[in-house]
Structure 1
Amino acid sequence: MSVIGFDLGNDNCVIAAVKQRGIDVLLNDESSRETPAVVSFGEKQRFLGSAGAASAALHTKSTISQVKRLIGRDFRQPDVQEDLNRLPFATSEGPDGRILIHIRFMNEDRIFTPVQILGMVLSHLKQVAEKNLQSAVADCVIGIPSYFTDSQRRAYLDAAAIAGLKPLRLMHDLAATALGYGIYKTDLHNSREPINVAFVDIGQCDTQVSVVAFETGQMRVLSHASDPNLGGRDFDEVLFRYFAEQFKEQYNIDVYCNVRACIRLRSSCEKLKKVLSANAEAPLSIECLMDEKDVKGFIKREEFERLSSSLLERVLVPCKNAVLDAGLQVDRIQSVELVGSGSRIPAIAKILSRFFKRDPSRSLNASECVARGCALQGAMLSPIFRVRDYEQVSGGRNEKMRLDLDPWEEVGGLDSNFLWRE
């Protein structure tokens, strides 16, 4: 038996496992460290992960993605409706007010719930882990956002049960990140005074901030704050709208009328955003986007930042709330760690530098830190491994604690030397 940690992202998932006296990120069949959180239903076959992402263009209305945004949510919630308008598959309201997903599979109309779809994703991730480890996998720790409601947490446990997994704990993303950070930062264990670190996670669809105090022999989560509706995809949407308007004027095409054109343009805008992170300007070129027309565009980073100014201002809101809830002044924050798929935008680093009065550090792997921390927590909770005790104190007004159900507890241990044995 092995213990693994799952980071279930909005777009991609990461699997980490405890082995070889350390934490390893597992590779999928394509030798990639990230697996798309996609389920695509073809005419006679179901495609999962990377295969599902590759089949998305062929089965547009039968490809389910971004299920993390839908699980445990009510159909009529305004932000849910906004998400559903961006997604190509059909949905409806169930008898309990939750979301039902409609697809065509095996020449039949099928209805699935987001919990069932997430169960399929977890089942695929479990198979990837078992193939890598050559052993059965059941015990796991799953990362969740700190703002998840009770129903969303229960939905995650139900999806894990469908996949045949036994979650030892549902752990807040940034608590897992802080756990992995504290293990390897040896200078934290020799300090006489608490070292306060702010962790800022700009994900694909949300922004989370936590302030954590590290002391000799312990770590304390002081506060959590978040914006569930601000992430990297919102910056993609800025580029999408910019080029959609530009193409309407230049080429007389309206991509909003074509689902496949919208998907292709959004995908190209996401790639363009990454190019702008390293370059002052970037071109956009798509063949046969719509009506057999090839399109070309161009944008400078300055223009992109100007169009995104309102989003950049929103990034500071959870930062201010987290520092306030922690009961600290900004100058008491000794370090700022920036993680998440959306954290690579240079303008975000600039605005955080001005607020915290120090440059954000990128010492952690932005995409893998949550999965690694979850795997470490799993090793501490599992009877398979023996880990040295290290006290963790959880506190803060804004932290959501669940002490009555073990999988929801956000407590754990650190091992300064990170030693275990089976």
Structure 2
Amino acid sequence: MSVVGFDFGNENCLVAVARQRGIDVVLNDESKRETPAIVCFGEKQRFIGTAGAASTMTNPKNSISQIKRLIGRPFSDPELQRDLKSLPYAVSEGPDGFPLIHARYLGEMRTFTPTQVLGMVLSNLKEIAEKNLNTAVVDCCIGIPVYFTDLQRRAVLDAATIAGLHPLRLFHETTATALAYGIYKTDLPESDQMNVAFVDVGHASMQVCIVGYKKGQLKVLAHAFDRSLGGRDFDEALFTHFAAKFKDEYKIDVYQNARACLRLRAACEKLKKVLSANPEAPLNIECLMEEKDVRGYIKRDEFEQISLPILDRVKKPLEKALHDAGLSVENVHTVEVIGSASRIPSVFKILTEFFGKEPRRTMNASECVSRGCALQCAILSPTFKVREFQVKFKDHGLYKL
């Protein structure tokens, strides 16, 4: 029996497997731990994962990404409508009121549902796990955001069925992180509860989870989230800034060219990462459009200034989680930050000021969800003996799917 955990993210996916000696995050064919969540449709074949990401720049209108934002959501959803504005591919409303993705594949225009595309992504992740384990993979645990609706959860289960997978459980990403954090701790208190706040600022959303630990168990005290607050919002702030600057300086409008938009967004994402470690950063793109090379420059202070509307929203989920847990800041013993956008200094500064203590990075920011899902799968599997560890919710006792 396979024991596998899948973390399908908005941008990247990870696969973790349980072995007798512990949990391993496995490598894909390119010897990378992270696999892009992209399906690129071509004239003769489709490219999934790393191969799909490599084809994105040359074939933007047929490269389907950010599928996690589309799955299980009605086309009329205001958040979905906002997301569609930044996507390079065409999406329309289907007869059932849900999104339909349009792409040119095998020489003709075709339509796909987000569930079908996610099924392709999960099939690719399944192949990665099977190559590593040298056995068929069927049983698994899949990480999902805590804010997913029942429709979205069912859509993920349908996508797993398309991929030939049987999820033993859909596991909240923050709960998976809490499990991966707590199960290895040998110094958990017998009677007094140790409260830990997990703050996950990912590519497209922010989730906060407050967990109480005792020996052999964790209790989820509260969840809070902002569905549309993540690293891509900071990318978009930089993108808007430079798009306006280049229109003024170079008389080019990147909004009129899908490939130019993709290239500028990719450059802005790299710029954001450079600014996380440096006080200033340059932006240079050769032949962005109309055969013009563009140059830009920005300081971290200026970046934080244009990001203020985004940074102002960071505190709300933190306040709600504390309120729902019935705790004060002093009752939180440790703060753990994960997620790609948690590396942004201004976000880290807000968390430090709010909790009155510096957040810790003891967990791998990218791998903890997949590890937690693999651990949960191992707990449910009869083939593995795992240390007794219960996962409880504040009001509902033991966690059930």
- Which bracket does the TM-score occupy, shorter chain normalised? over 0.9
Aligned mates of 1:187, 1:307 — CA distance in 2:
44
- Structure 1 residue 355 and structure 2 residue 346: aligned? no
- The offset of 1:103, in angstroms, is 0.9
Contact 2:183 2:389 in 1 (8 A): no
Aligned mates of 1:302, 1:362 — CA distance in 2:
24
What is residue 26 of structure 1 aligned with on the other side?
26
Q: Deviations over 1:188-235 (max 9, x none)?
A: 2x4541110000000100000000000122211000000001100000
Q: Secondary structure at the match of 1:24?
A: strand
Aligned mates of 1:53, 1:315 — CA distance in 2:
30
What is residue 318 of structure 1 aligned with on the other side?
317
- Structure 1 residue 266 and structure 2 residue 265: aligned? yes
Q: Secondary structure at the match of 1:219?
A: strand
Q: Deviations over 1:65-101 (max 9, x none)?
A: 0000000000111111111111111111111100111
Contact 2:14 2:35 in 1 (8 A): yes
- The offset of 1:259, in angstroms, is 0.7
What is residue 238 of structure 2 aligned with on the other side?
239
Q: Deviations over 1:334-361 (max 9, x none)?
A: 1100000111001111011111000010
Q: Which runs of 5+ in 2 are unaligned?
A: none
Aligned mates of 1:353, 1:60 — CA distance in 2:
39
- The offset of 1:147, in angstroms, is 0.5
What is residue 137 of structure 1 aligned with on the other side?
137
- Structure 1 residue 117 and structure 2 residue 117: aligned? yes
- Structure 1 residue 289 and structure 2 residue 280: aligned? no
Aligned mates of 1:391, 1:66 — CA distance in 2:
33
What is residue 48 of structure 2 aligned with on the other side?
48
1:124 is aligned with what amino acid?
Answer: N
- The offset of 1:185, in angstroms, is 2.5
Aligned mates of 1:392, 1:290 — CA distance in 2:
53
Contact 2:216 2:388 in 1 (8 A): no
Contact 1:170 1:409 in 2 (8 A): no
Contact 1:223 1:325 in 2 (8 A): yes
Which piece of structure 1 moves more, 234-243 or 307-316? 307-316
Aligned mates of 1:391, 1:247 — CA distance in 2:
55
What is residue 61 of structure 2 aligned with on the other side?
61
Q: Secondary structure at the match of 1:319?
A: helix
What is residue 220 of structure 2 aligned with on the other side?
221
Q: Deviations over 1:109-140 (max 9, x none)?
A: 21100000000000000001101111110110
The two structures have a TM-score, normalised by structure 1, of 0.93
Aligned mates of 1:389, 1:217 — CA distance in 2:
6
What is residue 400 of structure 2 aligned with on the other side?
409
> Number of residue pairs matched?
401
Q: Deviations over 1:43-67 (max 9, x none)?
A: 1110000000001112111110000
Q: Secondary structure at the match of 1:230?
A: coil
What is residue 154 of structure 2 aligned with on the other side?
154
Contact 1:171 1:409 in 2 (8 A): no
Q: Deviations over 1:272-302 (max 9, x none)?
A: 1000000010000000001000001000101
- The offset of 1:402, in angstroms, is 11
- The offset of 1:250, in angstroms, is 1.1
What is residue 374 of structure 2 aligned with on the other side?
375
CA RMSD between the two structures: 1.3
- The offset of 1:393, in angstroms, is 2.3
Aligned mates of 1:92, 1:310 — CA distance in 2:
30
2:157 is aligned with what amino acid?
Answer: L
The two structures have a TM-score, normalised by structure 2, of 0.98
Structure 1 residues 100-111: aligned runs within 5 Å: 100-111=100-111
Q: Which runs of 5+ in 1 are unaligned?
A: 411-422
Aligned mates of 1:30, 1:402 — CA distance in 2:
43
1:148 is aligned with what amino acid?
Answer: F
What is residue 414 of structure 1 aligned with on the other side?
none
